[in-house]
Amino acid sequence: MKALIKNEPGPGLALIEVPEPTIGASDVKIRVLRTGICGTDLHIEKWDDWAASTLRPPIIPGHEFSGEVVEVGSLVHDVAVGDLVSGEGHVVCGMCRNCRAGRAHMCIRTKGVGVNRDGAFAEYVVIPGKNVWVHQPGTDPDVAAIFDPFGNAVHTALKFGVVGEDVLVTGCGPIGLMAIAVARHVGARFVVATDISQPRLEMALRMGADAAVDVSRERVADVQRSLGMKEGFDVGFEMSGSPAALGEMIENMNHGGRIAMLGLPSEPFPIDWSKVVTHMLTLSGIYGREMFETWNSMSAMLQSSPQLSERLASIISDRYPASRWREAFDVAATGGVGKVIIDWTEI
């Protein structure tokens, strides 16, 4: 099969022929239809310090995907040949305290598809049957391919109750945009988004934000006043990893406010802990998806809301055949677009 592989340490990837993967009794083999390019994939292609310390080439990256089941192991249930599926990218041990308590997303021995084991930038991928998510009939393969990042957004947006609450979202990358759409769908009162990219701020408004703030030119506090908010935000989604964004979020939270943090900072930074304490704020880190309640919530919301489905699909900004993977990666690396999809039916 053709696969986009990191053959050795160093920058770059190569689209080459490799052996097709084989399955065990508990595995599922999937013919890949679409893949999304994630920030993790960009780190791997660039071979930065994180990639160099984490990966052991040769390895096939890619963890955002949709595909068609072509083979099912003898011990796998509820997955059939021909199903349209995606995959939970965290392969867990099943035996640590968190796994046994039903908190598999907190497994201490998690292995990442496309990071610690071969991933989906290929014509075929094999994952454990327990990691397979079967989609509702009629699901668009493009949308199915971005269920992984959509799950990050849903996990963040549903961490704290947002019904009737005022929500501040800092960072309008694809996952931030998805979180805006979810907050609007669930029933937030005001949703305010911040970024410094005008195209992404415009997308935030299309996702349902009441206001989109260019923080290089205006302050969140001013927008609060224009919306008639008498107190601070009740819930924050920090999606950017920016020290300045978190600082402004903390500054604009109501007493007792709750912040879900998905954005990964590039280095440690100070925050105003006195305000966290005196305003009794809650800060919670978010990683991946709850397995598999988040997946169930994603499917249920999309099945019940055509508008949310349309908003999610509109985040996909670019599509490339696998043969043009270099262009796809270059576009994704610009950071000013939505999700970039690679089509593995065109190689």
CB count within 10 Å of CB 272 equals: 14
Q: What is the dihedral angle through the alpha carbons of 88, 89, 95, 98, rounded to the nearest 10 degrees?
A: -80
What does the DSSP assignment read for 155-173?
HHHTSS--TT--EEEE--S
CA distance 288 to 104: 11
How are beta strands 191-195 and 211-214 bridged, if at all? Answer: parallel
Distance CA 117, CA 127 (A): 9
Pick from 244, 263, 262, 236: nearest CA to 168: 236
Rounded (5°) CA angle 116-117-120: 120
E strand map for 37-91 = 64-72, 84-87, 90-91
Q: Can you tell me which residue has the tokens 């908190």?
A: 103
Q: In this structure, are residues 181 and 308 in contact, taking their beta carbons and an 8 Å threshold?
A: yes
Contact partners, residue 219, CB within 8 Å, separation at least 6: 213, 248
Residue 135 and residue 155: Cα distance in Å, rounded?
18
Helix locations, 252-324, DSSP H: 273-278, 293-304, 306-314
Q: Which residues are catalytic?
A: 40, 43
